[in-house]
Structure 1
Amino acid sequence: MAHNIKKIFCVGLKKKNQSTQRAQNTIPQNKTKPKWKRLFLLGRRKKNDSKNQKIVQDEKEKNLILPTDCLLEIFKYFQDDLRTLHSCLLVDKNWCISTVRLIWKQPFLNKSSPIIIDVYLSCLTLHEKKNLIKNGVDLTNITKPATFHYANFLRHLDMKNFYAAVEARNRVNKIVENRHTDLICRALCRLFTTKCENIQTLHLNWNYVGGWKRYPIFPYQRSASKFLNELSELSIYKVNTRDIFLDMEKHSKNLVKLEILDYCFDNLPEHRHKSIYMLIKNQKNLQNCKLFAYGICPVIPMKALDFQTNSLIHFELIYAKFPSDNNAFISLSNCHNLKTLIIEYCYFENQDILRPLIQTQFPHLRKIRFKSLQSNASEIFVELIKKNSISLRELHYSDEVSRQFNHLILETIVTYSTTSLISLTIPFRNCQTPQLITLLSFSNQLQSLKLIGPYGHERAFVEFLPVLAKLLPSSLHHLSLDLNWVIMNNLQQFLTNLNTRLFTFYISGWSRRIRERHVETIKTYLQQYNPTLDFYDFLKDIT
């Protein structure tokens, strides 16, 4: 049975092969095509191949387009270079969308063009525009609707520069009435609060505007909570007519940086002190606090630092008077993560007021700046150096009574913190020359040096200058010397002996008069060692 099946299968397969071969034999052979037809088909084939290659190339180029998030990260490196950003704006639609966000992120950083106000006015609703026109505001320049919702991109707002831009716009349009300026400001502030939901920096300046009633204040807008909720940096300058601090405290609890500038605490009601206290207290992560508080010391606001002991890293106090010991610095002494401590133009009845600062240690403290104090605080400064010598990198001390005291600051620095310093400003006397030589011999990272003194021994110090030039470390680029009335006859030798290239060199007496031969000597030095540096930029004091 199996043999028969196998035989039938072989016969069927043989017949199939014979029929296939017969069909192939019946197909006529293609004749050779004419030459012109072959060339035509060849050219057509090449044209199709080139089209296919172009399609493939276009697909590859589409795959190389960067997403918007990547473009934004790249463009952030040019966010301060508006000319480059404007060039990127013109590349294509994708680049334009990415760039316009950065350009309109902080339009009022400096004095802004009046055209910016016209652009924002074009973003207003039809109702807002009609209301402005009804009140006499000229909007004839606003002919086209805005290309983007520019108010959505706003992240940093300086009210002084904003108000100045509105006034400049009105001057261009020959509008003199302040009422029109106020109307435009209020309309645009409403636009900002409704469209921008993530403002990050806000600078309020009351000194520029005549009165707060004419000034558009954000905490009193309807959508203030949404507008100010993510605010991270707040600067309030010269606000005395309204309790702005309590109003801001209701909306902003995520401040990282707070500056209260030019604020008078004399005869201030206690509830106003408590308002500042509450604003500081209720912040979740306050890292930077600056109090420019002329008059009586802000004791109650400083006590709020007890609630920022883990987050505060930068503290500045300027123009405050401490006529008695009121434990104002106890709260600050508990801020163990402090990195920068700046006290300028302040008055202390005695140094014991600052003593809480030396009863603790700040393991991360990098910078101490006591500038132009109206009383002696050198002992506290010295103890701070001893307690925190490992982390310190910048030391600055000056007061109005240094002539009456023999400070031991330089001796302490040489003993505790010689090699780690980057910037140094200290009083100096000629008797401390050995300590200065020791300091310069081992300070291989020092970049800035300012010596205040030598208090009546200027002539001897001038004779020492050529030797000092040889001792200056190669890392030093900024030097300032306190020499008022002495004639320098060895400036050429001093500059010749330098082992470093100075970027700034200042002598206090030059602010009154600088001799022609000194000018020529300095210009020759700059041409030889730093030809790109401007002469006046070179003669700058270390602040």
Structure 2
Amino acid sequence: MNQIFASEYFDTIFRYLPTYKDLHSCLLVNKRWASCAIPILWEAPFRVNDKYISSPKVIQTYLAFIPDSTFHKLGYNKRIGLSNSRPPFFNYPSFLKELTYDQFLNAVIAIDFSEDIIIELFKLLAKNDVRLRRLEIYNCLNNYPENLNRKGHLVLPHFYECTSVFSMLTYFNCSYRWPVQRIQLFNVIAKYCHNIKILKVSIYDKNEGIALEGLIRSQRNLKKFSLVNSNNFASFPIQALLNQKHSLGSLALEDMHHSPRLNSAKFFNYGICQLNSSAIDVLAQCKNVNKVKFKHCEGLNSSVFFPLANAFSNLTSLEYSYGTYDIYDSATPIRLLSDIIMTSCNTLKRIALDWYSEAKLDITQLVEIITQQVTKLEYLKIPLYTLEQLALIHRTHNQLRKLEINMNREINFYSALYLFANVPLKNLWFYFLQN
């Protein structure tokens, strides 16, 4: 079998294995299988089965590639980390493709290394010609005591100096507020990377906004853009999306609100979603957007956002969510949501509406638009307040594959079940939640 298949076939097969445990089993077969499995395991060492972890053992392994002379130069009597008396079988740092900076820093701080060692680790990545395809730097330093925050501040600029590391990025998440500015990072990526497909960012001052504007304009084919927890300066980068209007397919606005209980970030900007009319006009020109998401955003009822109602005629997915069972949405943008759905009624396949309101909202017209105008709907999630609204939903079950309903307590639960008693379960998965 080893003689029949080339290494690239093993790589393809191994990437379809469901868990990392299966990949670890491949290491035990023979050296060739191991040489195909190791790069996959080490391209995202701070992520296991889609869960992010901070692993000091990864850092210890990386340190084995730093020569003794470097430790002596930094004032250490002996090397730290794994011994390099026997060189590792594989060049583990060279396989790195995905880096979650928070978890990387967590792992380093857990071992209590100095700033100099962290800087040497950055240099190690550049020396091994690492080309990241995914970089996430969010909630940076939020959970550390002040003395550890200081360590993080000191090393960040040295990470930016490793310019080659950023040249192949396709995914960049730099969201939520930092205790330091990110202008240098944005400028470096704008200069050396032009292939970002997915961008998730936050903005807090004018200079950051201008730097991010340059980053967006420098990209060739941006497909997904998310604006997270930003203030009014976010209009600068939004206007730069005009350069990406032919490629942009997904738009998200997230975490712009006044509720302290809706976030866990230490550095959080409390304020409503603030975009000027010029920024909204640019978004309205992005006609190829097919997915829109609003999550925990206040201020969408403003007339500034009305041009978005008729802007997207080819949406396949619309999401709106705000609050939890004890945090209420005081200004649900029913009109905006209704108009967006009506504009894309011939293409929408997924509608996820998930808000919690203290008052009983009149959404019958919204439900009528969904049930009578949307022709290709496959998934629907929605809060309902009356049995009449539930009956309207019932009429559309033939086209739905999945239905989730959050029912107001005024709806009799047994009446709701009776409505759907004859719906074949093999054709529709439905879920009722009553609050």
Bin of the TM-score, shorter chain as denominator length: 0.7 to 0.9
Separation in structure 2 between the aligned mates of residue 217 and residue 323 of structure 1, nearest angstrom? 30
Tell which deviates more after alignment, 150-159 or 138-147.
Answer: 138-147
Aligned 1:493-508 pairs, distance under 5 A: none
1:129 is displaced (CA, Å) by 3.7
Aligned AA for 2:429? H
List per-residue Cα deviations over 1:297-349 (Å, max 9, x = no partner): 72222111111111111111113324686343221121122121011222227
Match of 2:268 in 1: none
Q: Aligned AA for 1:328?
A: A
Runs of 4+ in 1 over 6 A off after TM superposition: none
Instruction: Say yes or no: does 1:409 pair with 2:366.
Output: yes
RCO greater where, 1 or 2, for CA within 8 Å and sep 6 or more? Answer: 2
CA contact (8 A) 1:314 1:341 kept: yes
Match status 1:380 vs 2:333: no
2:364 corresponds to 1:430 = no
Aligned residue runs from structure 1 range 9-158, under 5 A: 64-78=3-17, 81-109=19-47, 110-132=52-74, 134=76, 138-139=80-81, 141-158=83-100
Q: 1:227 to 1:357 in 2, by over 3 A?
A: same
Gaps of 5+ in 2: 143-147, 257-271, 323-328
Per the TM alignment, residue 388 of structure 1 is displaced from its structure 2 partner at its CA by 1.0
Give 1:448 shift.
Answer: 3.1
Residue 251 of structure 1 corresponds to which residue in structure 2?
192
**Shift, 1:199, TM fit:** 1.2
Question: Aligned in 2, Cα 1:401/1:354: closer, same or farther, shift over 3 Å?
Answer: farther
Tell me which amino acid in the other structure corresponds to 1:254. N
Counterpart amino acid of residue 366 in structure 2: I
Question: Is contact 2:295–2:321 with CA below 8 Å preserved after alignment?
Answer: yes
Question: How far does residue 75 in structure 1 lie from its aligned partner after superposition?
Answer: 1.2
Query: Structure 1 residues 219, 281: closer, same or farther in 2, change over 3 A?
Result: farther
| C-alpha spacing 1:473/1:279, structure 2 compared with 1 (3 Å) | farther
Counterpart contact for 1:185–1:216, Cα < 8 Å? no
Q: Which residue identity does 1:476 align to in structure 2?
A: L
Distance 1:400 1:118 in 2: 47
When normalised by structure 1's length, the TM-score is: 0.67
Which of 215, 224, 240 is the aligned partner of 1:279?
215
CA–CA distance in structure 1, aligned partners of residues 73 and 128 of structure 2: 19
2:68 and 2:79 in contact (8 A); partners too? no
Q: Equivalents in 1 of 2:65, 2:158: separation in Å?
A: 19
Q: How many residues align?
A: 398
Cα deviation for residue 351 of structure 1 reads 4.4
The answer to whether the aligner puts 1:215 opposite 2:215 as a matched pair is no
1:187 is aligned to 120
Structure with the larger helix share: 1
Q: CA deviation at 1:451?
A: 2.9
Alpha carbons 1:89, 1:95 under 8 Å: kept: yes
Flag the 1:183–1:380 CA change in 2: closer, same or farther, 3 A: same
Contact 1:325 1:352 in 2 (8 A): no
Shift of 1:295: 4.1
Structure 1 residues not aligned, in runs of 5+: 1-60, 171-177, 484-543
DSSP-derived class of the 2:378 partner = coil
The corresponding residue for 2:352 is 396
- Return the letter of the residue paired with 2:434: D
| SS, match of residue 197 in structure 1 | coil
Asked if 1:369 is matched to 2:319, the reply is yes
Superimposed CA distance per residue, residues 388-412 of structure 1 (whole angstroms, 9 cap, x where no aligned partner): 1121111123556683641211111
* Aligned CA distance change for structure 1 residues 480 and 187 (closer, same or farther; 3 Å): farther
Q: Secondary structure at the match of 2:44?
A: coil
Provide the rounded CA distance (Å) in 2 between the counterparts of 1:349 and 1:86: 48
> CA 1:452 to 1:333, structure 2 compared with 1: closer, same or farther past 3 Å?
farther
Q: Which residue of structure 1 lines up, in the alignment, with residue 108 of structure 2?
A: 166
Deviation at 1:420, TM superposition (A): 2.6
State the TM-score, normalized to the length of structure 2: 0.82
Letter in 2 for 1:430: L
Q: Which protein is bigger by CA-based radius of gyration?
A: 1
Q: Does 1:309 align with 2:245?
A: yes
- Give the structure 2 partner of residue 352 of structure 1: 303
* 1:178-201 CA distance string (max 9 Å, x none): 5x3423322111101221332111
Could you tell me whether the CA contact under 8 Å between 2:203 and 2:233 is conserved in 1?
no
How many angstroms apart in 2 are the aligned matches of 1:473 and 1:245?
Answer: 53
* Aligned amino acid, residue 311 of structure 2: T
